[in-house]
Amino acid sequence: DQQVKQNSPSLSVQEGRISILNCDYTNSMFDYFLWYKKYPAEGPTFLISISSIKDKNEDGRFTVFLNKSAKHLSLHIVPSQPGDSAVYFCAAWEGGGKLIFGQGTELSVKP
């Protein structure tokens, strides 16, 4: 049973607009969440994270929101750029060192 779910396999947005990527989780023991970005033929690279004691974390064009009661987090990219086109993975830390990833969402930013 998938504990971290990204239900949208793909998302297409226009350059300059907002991209919103969503992630749901089922395990209430998760206490830290991360977003990763992956280009083809490369390993995933860290983008931004958030602790479960916060509801928002911002880094430049990237903002992650956490809604613990809904077990939902989202990544906002504003403004979106063509170079943002990649697969985005949501991940969650469970106590004891277990890091679980979602299925990924492929973002395409069109000029």
Partner 1 sequence: NAGVTQTPKFRVLKTGQSMTLLCAQDMNHEYMYWYRQDPGMGLRLIHYSVGEGTTAKGEVPDGYNVSRLKKQNFLLGLESAAPSQTSVYFCASSYSIGILEAFFGQGTRLTVV
> What Å distances lie between residue 88 and 17, 29, 40, 43, 96, CA to CA?
17, 23, 12, 12, 25
| Touching partner 1, residues 6-45 (CB under 8 A) | 6, 9, 32, 34, 36, 41-45
Contact 22, 72 (CB under 8 A): yes
Least separation, in Å, of the C-beta of 41 and partner 1?
A: 8
Contact 77, 62 (CB under 8 A): yes
- Binder to partner 1 among 62, 72, 76, 101 (CB under 8 A)? 101
Of 18 and 39, the one with the shorter C-beta distance to partner 1 is 39
**What residues does 62 pair with on adjacent strands?**
59, 77
Least separation, in Å, of the C-beta of 80 and partner 1?
A: 22
| Touching partner 1, residues 58-87 (CB under 8 A) | none
